[in-house]
Chain A
Amino acid sequence: MSIDISKTFSDMAQVAGQSIEEGGAAVGSGITEVLNNNKQSLAELAQARVDSEINDEDFANELAREKLIVEAEMIALEIASKAAVQKAVNGAMDVLTKAVAAAI
């Protein structure tokens, strides 16, 4: 039995594309969520300084903390991106392996 390599590659691209599309959408909405959280947190912080609820030292410390929290949130998105790439490549390879096995 022969293998239809054009169709196999097209199926591989479709499986990979779908994984990347799903992963990309999740990362996109994740970035928006991180930025919104950060915006709200920074707005509260700025208002607290204006109202003298915190002093300059606390304000500077809190800005540094906020950066670290955003870094951790961005790392979660980096993990999600890598997971999407891994799923895409492995999904495409699985299509090829099955097509070859079926043709033998």
Chain B
Amino acid sequence: MNDMNSTNKSFGGLLLVLFFTSMFSGCSIQLLAERDEVSLQQMEKLAQDVDLLFTQLLYMPPDRRDYQSNAAKYLSVEVKLNALKMRQESRVMNELTIKQLDIAIDLWAQDRKRHEHQNSFTDFMLKRYRSQYKRLFLAMIKGEEAKEKRLES
């Protein structure tokens, strides 16, 4: 309860500082990049591509879940993740989305290497990875959707 009160006080203090900053600068404040529909579409497409890979692997018998047959799909997702990161880097006040994307890029590289090294996947791990990437992309999409839309002039 005390934690909540101190959080509310800090939050109120921050609001007050931002309010007066905005008042004296005479313009609206910007804490985040504006919402970008293209980024949202790219995030949704990536979520689909990753879901497709893990679901396809899950439908295959375990002895056919080799890395080489799926290497092109890993490469395709990696290229799309890099393109999405490049788009995010060109936007101002967008560090938080870049941080989310860095997590996705690191995990993807790690998972590609793991599949290549082990050359197989258990049902348990496939279901787990599919669910984790769903949570990860959903977090990115929710973050992007929380940003304000650019006002049409």
Contacts and interface: CB of A to CB of B under 8 A. Distances in A.
Central interface residue in B30, B31, B103, B146, by most chain A CB within 10 Å? B146
Contact of B146 (A48, A68, A72, A80): A80
Contacts of B18: 85, 89
A71 B22 contact: no
B130 to A, nearest CB: 12
Given A82-B32, A83-B32, A75 B96 contact: yes
B27 to A, nearest CB: 8
Contacts of B107: 65, 68
Interface of B: prevailing SS: helix
Given A54-B124, A72-B104, A79-B147, A41 B131 contact: yes
A79 B32 contact: yes
B146 A86 contact: no
A82 B104 contact: no
Interface residues of A, number: 37
B12 to A, nearest CB: 9
B128 A79 contact: no
Contacts of B100: 72, 75-76
Interface residues of B, number: 35
A72 B124 contact: no
Interface of A: 16, 20, 26, 30, 37, 41, 44-45, 48, 53-54, 58, 62, 65-66, 68-69, 71-73, 75-76, 78-80, 82-83, 85-90, 92-94, 96
